[in-house]
Amino acid sequence: MSDSPLSRIFGDPARRGGPPSGEAGKRLPWGLILAGVAVLFGLYVLDGCWFVVPPTEMAGVTRLGVVAVSAPVGPGLHFKLPLIEHANLIQTSVSRFNLPQVQVYTADNQLLDLGISLTYQVPPAAVLHLLYGVGRAGNVDIDSTIEPIIADRALRVFAQHKTINVSARRAVIDRQMHVAISQALHRLFGIDVIDIQIRSIRYTSGFDQAVEEAVEAKAAAARAHNQVQQKRFEAEQTVATADGAAQARIARAKGQAAAVVLRAQAQAQAITIVARARAAAIAQVGAAAAANAAIIPYQVARRWNGQLPGTLVGSGGGGKMFRMLLPAPGAPPAK
């Protein structure tokens, strides 16, 4: 009877022509080794019968390379067939992806370096597509897959705006990028974009220099405008001062003219009053003279200094008055 392989391994050493029985205790315990290997293999198989999905992830299961589930597996403990089924996990919580540098051209062919951050989330409906339809299984290829999409849509948006208007239209550009990138990523990969941030915008050195020169020119223009306004204000002040002085001179001239008129009116009234008084006096004298014809010779005699006038004008009748006052020749002096 021939020995079986097991009998040759575990059988009596003496029957197999082995060493004497004294050396049998020194041989390895092959039975225990095989038992240990069997136990370890069993544990390995048992360990492959389940998998745990964290709360921030979801999973897909493949069986011999074929997708074995119709919907993603949610968080928790799940069982699978050992050795022939495998679980692949993908993060479904909110993720953030940073693009360190994206170069774009504006409408006026100026080069800009952008720093863009994308906040996104993988919805359950996109889990199996991203696990087995995009790149390698898992989410290790998601960032590298969406990066060129983001760069392309950013380039399209900035091509619609001039460089000088980028800062002023920042909010409009943000909205346009959010719409363009969200639509592209959802259509291609089913990813939901939560927010897009333009962390930085770097211009070329030539454009920065041009902007500085423009700002300086604008500041110089503002200073010149302020100087013009100052000169205009000073001129207006000068005109106002001159107008005030002219008005003051006119007022003084009017006052002086009015004073002259008043003085002339006063003098005229005074002359009129004096003339009227003299006329009244003359009238009274005339009336007195008419009533008493001798009053005139009497007044003449009162005012006569005793000398006859050297020249008599007319027929000489005026001498009668003097003759009336003088005694006749040869007459005795009056007593």
Per-residue pLDDT for 14 more than 60?
Answer: no
Confidence of residue 192 (pLDDT cuts 50, 70, 90): very high
What's the whole-number mean pLDDT along residues 37-46? 68
pLDDT of residue 321: 52
pLDDT band at 104 (very low <50, low <70, confident <90, very high): very high
> How does pLDDT run across 108-130, given as a tens digit for each residue?
888 999 999 999 999 999 999 88
| Range of weakest confidence among 23-32, 137-146, 230-239, 298-307 | 23-32
Rounded Cα–Cα distance for residues 206 and 163 (Å):
12
3-state secondary structure 104-156: EECCCCCEEEEEEEEEEECCHHHHHHHHHCCCCCCCCCHHHHHHHHHHHHHHH
Instruction: Determine the average pLDDT of the residues in 211-228.
Output: 77
Strands (E) in the chain, as ranges, are 50-53, 57-63, 66-67, 76-79, 85-91, 95-105, 111-121, 192-202
Query: Residue 138: is it exposed, middle or buried by C-beta count within 10 angstroms (0-12/13-18/19+)?
Result: middle
Contact call for residues 157 and 177 (beta carbons, < 8 A): yes
Q: What is the predicted pLDDT for the residue at 153?
A: 93
Q: DSSP letter at 26? A: G
At residue 311, the pLDDT reads 63
Look at residue 180 in the predicted model and tell me its pLDDT.
94
In terms of pLDDT, which residue wins out, 279 or 103?
Answer: 103
pLDDT at 251: 81
Structure confidence at residue 133 (pLDDT): 82
The domains of the chain are located at 5-56+63-90, 95-203
Q: Which of 80-94, 211-225, 237-251 has the lowest mean pLDDT?
A: 211-225
Q: Summarize pLDDT for 148-188 with one digit per residue, the tens.
A: 999 999 999 999 999 888 888 999 999 999 999 999 999 98
How much is the pLDDT for 1? 47
For the cut 70, the answer to whether the pLDDT of residue 25 exceeds it is no
Model confidence band, residue 140 (pLDDT cutoffs 50, 70, 90): low
Residue 197 phi/psi, 5-degree rounding, is: -120, 130
Give yes or no for residue 143 having a pLDDT over 70: yes
Average pLDDT value for the chain: 78
The pLDDT value given to residue 332: 56
Per cent of the chain over pLDDT 90 is: 23
**Is residue 301 scored above 60 in pLDDT?**
yes
Q: What pLDDT is stored for residue 329 in this prediction? A: 53
* Other CB atoms within 10 Å distance of the CB of residue 109: 9
| CATH superfamily entry for domain 95-203 | Band 7 domain (3.30.479.30)
Whether 277 shows a pLDDT value over 90: the answer reads no
